[in-house]
């Protein structure tokens, strides 16, 4: 009798329940997660997985001894990203039409966690997760200085005008710390919008009657008065910031 007495059978792989995994090291913690949602959602990870790999022993991400090292990434940021990405796997058991990634299905994430999702989804080009983070943060109460800073840092252009408008409308002046966070140039432009205008009393009277909406023509140079919370500074802000 010749040949292998116990030949290795070629088994088929289930199209859904045979999952490739990858192991990441973030700070001092190992994460072992499915590759598929990373490839489906992120161009960066998709390209990374296309790079030539070694054998199963030496390939990065295939063992705890040789994980993919995510330098500069914080565990507190990576965990919310995975929650938002992987909890949608539950749909596999409720929707036979296919998987859907990018929507969080677990316990609600807080503001700080969604900021982490926004940060890493922007860095790694998770377009679906980035949009989920923007939508969730847009619906939450947030300091306008925080929102403006995030808008500039992560290129969320639709947050810039609402944040500046709230800062222009509020009675309290821009503090030194807020000016530092906004940036010197932004703080000066915002101060020019806030402090160089007051309400024309005649316009205020018409406004109280509710007959029409206030416009920039109804603002005149002078000391800042109360009642600016309802004014539309949008045209002035657009001119000052070239928006």
Q: Convert the pLDDT of each residue in 179-192 to its tens digit.
A: 999 998 999 999 88
Report pLDDT for 164: 95
Report pLDDT for 7: 63
pLDDT-derived band of residue 90, with 50, 70 and 90 as boundaries? Answer: very low
The pTM of the full predicted model, rounded to 2 decimals, is 0.75
How much of the chain exceeds pLDDT 70, in percent? 72
* CATH classification code of 21-138: 3.30.710.10
Three-state DSSP string of the chain = CCCCCCCCCCCCCCCCCCCCEEEEEECCEEEEEECHHHHHHEHHHHHHHHCCCCCCCCCCCCECCECEECCCCCHHHHHHHHHHHHHHHHHHHCCCCCCCCCCCCCCCCCHHHHHHHHHHHHHCCEHHHHHHHHHHHHCCCCCHHHHHHHHHHHCCHHHHHHHHHHHHHCCCCCCHHHHHHHCHHHHHHHHHHHHCEEECHHHHHHHHCCCCCCCHHHEEECCCCCCHHHCCCHHHHHHHHCC
Report pLDDT for 118: 97
Label residues 224-235 b or e (16+ Cβ within 10 Å = b): eeeebeebbbbe
- CA 226, 151, 155, 158 torsion: positive or negative? negative
Weakest mean pLDDT among 2-11, 13-22, 63-72, 147-156 = 2-11
pLDDT tens for residues 222-240?
Answer: 445 556 777 788 888 998 8
pLDDT-derived band of residue 81, with 50, 70 and 90 as boundaries? Answer: very high
Report pLDDT for 227: 63
Q: Which residue has the higher pLDDT, 14 or 198?
A: 14
Distance (Å, rounded) from C-alpha 74 to C-alpha 58? 25
Domain locations in the chain? 21-138, 144-241
Residue 45 has pLDDT above 50, yes or no: yes
Weakest mean pLDDT among 41-45, 107-111, 199-203 = 199-203
């Amino acid at each position: 009798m010749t040949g292998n007495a116990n030949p290795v059978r070629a088994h088929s792989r289930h199209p859904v329940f045979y999952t490739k995994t990858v192991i990441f090291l973030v700070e001092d913690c190992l994460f072992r997660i499915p590759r598929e949602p990373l490839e489906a959602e992120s161009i960066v990870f998709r390209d990374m997985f296309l790079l030539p790999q070694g054998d199963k022993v030496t390939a990065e991400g295939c063992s705890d001894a040789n994980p993919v090292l995510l330098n500069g990434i914080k565990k507190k940021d990576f965990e919310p990203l995975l929650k938002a990405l992987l909890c949608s796997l539950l749909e596999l058991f409720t929707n036979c039409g296919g998987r859907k990634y990018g929507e969080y299905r677990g316990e609600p994430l807080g503001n700080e966690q969604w900021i982490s999702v926004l940060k890493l989804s922007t860095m790694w080009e998770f377009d679906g997760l980035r949009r989920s983070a923007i939508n969730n943060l847009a619906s939450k109460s947030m300091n306008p200085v925080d929102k403006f800073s995030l808008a500039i840092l992560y290129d969320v252009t639709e947050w810039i005008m609402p944040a500046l408008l709230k800062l222009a409308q509020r009675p309290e002046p821009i503090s030194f710390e807020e000016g530092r966070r906004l940036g010197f140039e932004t703080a000066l432009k915002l101060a020019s919008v806030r402090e160089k205008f007051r309400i024309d009393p005649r316009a205020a009277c018409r406004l109280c009657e509710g007959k029409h909406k206030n416009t920039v023509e109804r603002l005149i140079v002078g000391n800042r008065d109360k009642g600016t919370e309802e004014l539309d500074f949008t045209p002035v802000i657009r001119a000052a910031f070239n928006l």
